[in-house]
Amino acid sequence: MSEYNFLFSIDDSYVEQLKTTLLSIKTASKEGETIHAYVMVKKTLHKMTELSVFCQKQGILYHPILVNPHDFKEAPVSERYPDTIYYRLLAHEYLPEDLQTILYLDADILCLNNWKSVFEFDLGNNLYGACSHAKLTNLTNVINKVRLKSYESEGYFNSGVLLMNLPMIRKKVKRADIYQFISENTFNLLLPDQDVLNALYGDRIVSLPDEKYNYDVRKKTTYELISKGKWTLDWVIGETVFLHFCGKEKPWDPNYTGRFASLYKYFANQARKVE
């Protein structure tokens, strides 16, 4: 039996979305794959028991991690970017010491196909594996590299899917460095935790193919154009592992009309049926 570790960071407003993501991960799993879900929160969730029961019924091993709410009290936050988004940067300080690899996922992600392949990437001495969306936004990547002075990195990496090399992270990622960078660049952080990740550690990130592991649903037409018609809807359904509902518009909103809305709503409905 093989065991795989997944990491999430949420608050009470994202419990239902996390259940949808977890159900999609479990649905795409194979026999003999044991799923551990580590969930970082700043206070005990009101629906903690409900989430625990949900995981138990799905055969997912649930590990809640309570984070000190003062750890990021100086970090810039907003309604769209709450303090919980920073937790992944210091996850190694809270996770069990014996964990070697863990995959962080945003809770607005849907898993379409088996995810084992992402755990098989060799990170070597690098810290993370992530997707840069460089093929979609070359100019934006250049601007971000100049803005953050991260000239050695392969691109501007999205932090929604992060394969973590925990032994190396424990050696290289320091709380003091993160605090200092945030303090010195508070007014220059557009996507706060993502900017910190790219500025400090962008040159230690292995690039993963985003069309497979972090497909931005807003960019379907662009994906089809750059692949010369290869990455069609049928290809996505058959090959893409993680579908990411990036941006302000979310598939659980009543007025959402994105192309993948029905797919998300199906999994959300199935998650609600788990009793």
Q: Is the pLDDT of residue 222 over 70?
A: yes
**pLDDT score for 163:** 98
Query: Considering only CA atoms, which of 1, 61, 55, 62 is closest in space to residue 31?
Result: 1
> What are the chain's domains?
2-272 (3.90.550.10)
**pLDDT score for 154:** 53
Nearest 10 degrees: Cα torsion 89, 264, 240, 139:
-60
Amino acid at 120: E
Per-residue three-class SS string for the chain: CEEEEEEEECCHHHHHHHHHHHHHHHHCCCCCEEEEEEEEECCCCCCHHHHHHHHHHHCEEEEEEECCCCCCCCCCCCCCCCHHHHHHHHHHHCCCCCCCEEEEECCCEEECCCCHHHHCCCCCCCCEEEECCCCCCHHHHHHHHHHHCCCCCCCCCEEEEEEEEHHHHHHHCCHHHHHHHHHHHHHHCCCHHHHHHHHHHHHHEEECCHHHHCEEHHHHHHHHHHCCCCCCHHHHHHHCCEEECCCCCCCCCCCCCCCCHHHHHHHHHHHHCCC
- Name which residue leads in pLDDT, 1 or 147: 1
**pLDDT score for 167:** 98
Instruction: Give residue-wise pLDDT tens across range 153-175.
Output: 456 899 999 999 999 999 999 98
Q: Is the pLDDT of residue 188 over 80?
A: no
> Tokens 């629906």 appear where?
47
Query: Considering only CA atoms, which of 254, 159, 263 is closest in space to residue 220?
Result: 263
Query: Considering only CA atoms, which of 219, 190, 63 is closest in space to residue 131?
Result: 219
Predicted TM-score (pTM) of the model is: 0.90
Rounded Cα distance between 102 and 100, Å, is 7
Query: Parallel, antiparallel, or unpaired for β 33-41 and 60-66?
Result: parallel
**pLDDT score for 71:** 81
Q: Is the pLDDT of residue 75 over 90?
A: no
